[in-house]
Amino acid sequence: MKHTVDWNCVIEVEQEQPQAETVRQLIAAHRAGTVNVALLVASASEDTSSKALPGNAGFFAKRIAVLEWEDLPLVPMPGIWV
């Protein structure tokens, strides 16, 4: 079974919101080899004034490192320049 987690899952765990434990269990299952979980890299490009989203790849990587999710595969997204 394959699952993709997005930035909302990061926020859920960081802020200990109601679904945080479910997200942790999903990642634990990935590490146990029972499911495949990947992190959507489109999250790194989100840019809002709320500061809740990373806005750049460096900030994205730091927050993922704090959660110790660096081992999750990344799902690439197409880039668009405007």
pTM, to two decimals: 0.77
Written as tens digits, the pLDDT of the chain (82 aa) is: 899 998 889 889 999 999 999 999 999 999 999 999 999 886 554 544 455 555 667 888 888 999 999 999 998 877 666 6
Rg (C-alpha) for the chain, rounded Å, is: 13
Q: Where along the chain do its domains lie? A: 2-75
Dihedrals phi, psi of 4, to nearest 5 degrees: -120, 130
Give the pLDDT confidence score for residue 53 in this predicted structure.
55
